[in-house]
Amino acid sequence: MNFQLTEERQMLQDGLRRYLGDAVTPEALKAAESTGFSPEVWAGLSEMGVAGALFTEEQGGFGGLGFDLMTVFEELGRAGAPDPMLEVLLAGGIIAALGSESQQALVEQAVEGGVQLAFAHNEPSSRYDIDRIETRAERSGEGWSLTGRKSVVVNGAQADHVVVSVRTSGAPGEREGISLFLMPKGTDGVEIRDYPLSQGGHAAEMVFDGATLPADALLGEDGAAYDAIETAQARATAALCADALGAMETARALTGDYLKTRKQFGQPIGKFQALQHRAADMLIEIEQARSAVINLCGHLEADRDTREIHVSATKHLVGKVARLVAEEAIQMHGGIGMTEEYELGRFARRLSMLDQRFGDATWHLGRFVRLRAA
Amino acid sequence: MDLNFTEEQKAFRAEVRGFLQEKLPQRLSDKVRLGQRLTKEDYEEWHAILNEKGWLAGNWPKEHGGAGWNAVERHIFEEETTAASAPRIVPFGLAMLGPVLQKFGSKEQQQYWLPRILDGSDWWCQGYSEPGAGSDLASVKTTAERDGDHYVVNGQKTWTTLGQYANMIFCLVRTSKEGKPQEGISFLLIDMDDPGITVRPIVLIDGEPEVNEVFFDNVRVPASNLVGEENKGWTYAKYLLTHERTNIAGVGFANAGLANLKRIAKLEQSGGRPLIEDPLFAAQIAEVEIALMAMATTNLRVVSAAAAGQAPGAESSMLKVKGTVIRQEINALTKVAVGPYAMPFVSETLEAGTNEGPVGPDYAMAATPHYLNNRKLSIYGGSNEVQKTIIAKAILEL
């Protein structure tokens, strides 16, 4: 048992923290508004080879384990970095798991850095269920024709390639019959509406109206994509929770500094026990969240049931704590904490949107109960 | 990062488990499982079994007769003993006084008192709190005045756990009124049989006289029973409290309590189905289970750092708060789970070997007493509010 980072991960963490501390400037954040990412920060991360930490050596990377993800995403969250790295993990992970030799070239490009990916999976009525897919693909000549709608596809308009989930057989709610396609940017028959997200970044609504794809766009076997999606989403959930943990650490630090410097009634407000106890509660819960992230990252390589129990346990707990930290940090700051100008705001927004991806705290609590009973 | 135990640690766990299978008397584990009362003799029997193996004082170094375990090994031992429903080790001599004597006691004191803790010659209790000194421990008023080779002690201690069994008490007494309150406190060892000592039981809301008041009326204590230096007792007291707090997360107790809760929720019926299938109740169990999973890992992080030689800081305060809140929640859910049979208040049923059988199912009889008794968790050992102030001060440096 050991809770120290390896030397390599320590170096990665130090390097990332230094780089992002310098690179995530107000200008970079401003630049990210129109597309959802900062070209400069994205290029910098590519240069550092950060995406390599998301993939195993076999896949061409140098990491790929749970604690590699934790190391990278905690730092991205700590800096509140405007980047689509999570989409590289999510879509890239699926391609690495299922892709043909030629499709694997995208993973190499992802490791080298720079390629933009997205995973178009959720639909207006799927909410957080992985298997509730209605978008259909039907054989059309040599290739396939897609019909349906994907909702809130993060980085969808920016991605050079989008992994799209569809149903090739069966009914919504069934695990069998889900297939994946690799769709290049600019495919005909795809209507895209791009928009900014509360937490930063962009997403798109994607409507497929007879969009055609060639036969070799199929990713993996026809109808058998569920396991790969669930695995990739488990890893992305771990990464997103680590990101939230980093953001919480920043919110905590900002709040601590504020309590020390802000004076009211003739003394620093941190002298007041009412605020001290709120701060202590926040710290206790952040330690809980850290342990939950460690638990999930430490079980990402375990058998499916063990892994998924930890996915739901951690997403539930971190979801609850993220809400508490965002709300309490604002409360302890007072009005300044609600302003766009002050730094806390964007971290509070980032934290408050954690629940909205891959399942909220209540949804995962229910799932945990069902997994435990199974 | 590696969440797995080493091969050596796994082997140690297997050894502890094997020992418990062989040596833990079923009579005792049955009592613990059902939440029945343990007598003084029960504790002494279990202590003697552990002492024979050299495992009674896991936290003591070998030179003093302890097992010399590091924090991880102690954690494994605690996990296994709580999972096997072994009686707890009474902490006052072993976990509290022992480390203080080893660090601050004289050679003579160590040689005399430590073996007597191990072999059960002495049953210690803790004389810290007073009616006017609870969370504000430094305001103790019990005085000890030097008179030749003796101290003369006057005053009152309270909340003295299992004081009715004890023949010895370690006390914080005031030897000086100069300077700050912390500066005039001394650490004194007192024989409970000395003339002038009166013990009066305090019955708690669970019906148990678990704690006592102890009165001192001109009690003469040999000056050789002073630990360390006069007026330096606060330092020793704080040292003791850190030891008291390291295990205060109570992960083992929480795990055992959760397993018991789930077992009960499977046996109890609600709407014609097992209670555990009620989604709202299942969600409440799940919520506390998830919190416990995270807390157990926080505990391992602290344990692992301690095994590597780092002193625990604000983390032990965090564990105290989180650990006690989780255990109290499990107690509350267990009381809810047993339903109407949480109401019968028949104290005798908690005595093993009486003719008074449980009114309802046997698992129901301890639910309410445990729920009520464990309200103490967030009050003792520095109340949770005191812990939060410690955490905030450590982080805010104000």
Tell me the pLDDT tens digit for each residue of B72-81: 999 999 999 9
Residue B250 has pLDDT above 80, yes or no: yes
Same domain for B67 and B194, yes or no, is: no
Q: pLDDT-derived band of residue B117, with 50, 70 and 90 as boundaries?
A: very high
Outline which parts of chain A fall under CATH 1.20.140.10.
227-373
Residue B117 falls inside a structural domain: no
- Cβ neighbours of B293 in A, within 8 Å: 292, 295, 313
CATH top class, domain A227-373: mainly alpha
pTM of the model: 0.93
Count of structural domains within chain B: 3
B386 and B256, same domain (yes or no): yes
Q: What is the mean pLDDT of residues A147-162?
A: 98
Q: Return d(Cα A279, Cα B392) in angstroms, integer.
A: 6
B255 and B358 both lie in a single domain: yes
How far apart are the CA of A270 and the nearest CA of chain B, in angstroms? 7
Counting one residue from A and one from B, how many pairs have CB atoms under 8 Å apart?
Answer: 129
- Residues B349 and B346: their CA atoms lie apart, in Å, by 6
Residue B232, both tokens: 């330096």
User: Is the Cβ–Cβ distance between A86 and A240 less than 8 Å?
Assistant: yes
Answer whether B269's CB lies under 8 Å from A262's CB. Answer: no
B71 contact residues in A (CB cutoff 8 A):
none
Q: Which of B293, B318, B321 has its CB closest to that of A295? A: B293
Write out the catalytic residue numbers of B.
244
CATH topology of domain A7-115: Butyryl-Coa Dehydrogenase, subunit A; domain 1 (1.10.540)
- Report d(CA A23, CA A17) in Å as an integer: 10
Q: Where in chain A is the domain with CATH 1.10.540.10?
A: 7-115
Give the per-residue pLDDT at B243.
Answer: 65
Tell me how far apart the alpha carbons of residues A236 and B85 are, in angstroms, rounded to a whole number.
40
Each residue of A261-290: pLDDT tens digit? 999 999 999 999 999 999 999 999 999 999
**Distance to chain B for A173, nearest Cα, Å:** 21
Tell me if B318 and A283 make a contact (CB, 8 A cut-off).
yes
Q: What percent of chain B has pLDDT over 70?
A: 98
Q: How many CB atoms lie within 10 A of CB B342?
A: 19
- Report the DSSP beta bridge partners of residue B188: B171, B226
- CATH number for the domain spanning B336: value is 1.20.140.10
> Would you place residue B358 in the very low, low, confident or very high pLDDT band (cuts 50, 70, 90)?
confident
- In angstroms, the CA A204 to CA A260 distance is 42
Contact A1 B2 (CB under 8 A): yes
ipTM for the assembly? 0.91
- Which CA distances in Å does A214 have to A138, A193, A219, A224, B35? 12, 24, 11, 19, 68
Checking DSSP bridges between strand B185-191 and strand B168-174, what pairing results, if any? antiparallel
A13 in Cβ contact with B15 (< 8 Å): no
In the CATH scheme, what architecture does the domain A118-223 have? Beta Barrel (2.40)
Residues B252 and B389 in one domain: yes
- Is A281 close to B4, i.e. CB distance below 8 A? no
* Mean local confidence (pLDDT), A39-56: 96
Nearest to B304 among A2, A270, A372 (CB): A2
Contact B117, B65 (CB under 8 A): no
Same domain, B359 and B262: yes
* Contacts (Cβ under 8 Å, ≥6 apart) of A242: A69, A70, A72, A73, A74, A77, A293, A297
Share of chain A above pLDDT 70, in %: 100
Instruction: Say if CB A130 and CB A230 are below 8 A apart.
Output: yes
Nearest-CB residue to A291 (from B287, B294, B398): B294
DSSP string, A97-121: HH--TTTTHHHHHHHHS---EEEE-
Distance of alpha carbon A16 from alpha carbon A75, whole angstroms: 7
Judgement on whether residues B262 and B228 belong to the same structural domain of the protein? no
- Tell me the pairing of strands A178-184 and A202-213: unpaired
Arithmetic mean of pLDDT, A69-77: 98
Residue B161 has pLDDT above 80, yes or no: yes
List, as ranges, residues 50-89 from A with C-beta within 8 Å of B: 67, 70
Do residues B131 and B156 make contact, with C-beta atoms less than 8 angstroms apart?
Answer: yes
B-chain residues near A9 (CB < 8 A) = 1
Residues B42 and B67 in one domain: yes
**Which among A1, A256, A276 has CB closest to B388?**
A276
Helices A7-23 and A39-48 pack at an angle, to 10 degrees, of 160
| pLDDT over threshold 80, residue A169 | yes
Dihedral sign, CA of B208, B211, B215, B220?
positive
Q: List the domain range (segments joined by +) for residue B333.
A: 248-396
In which residue are the tokens 């999973």 written? B293
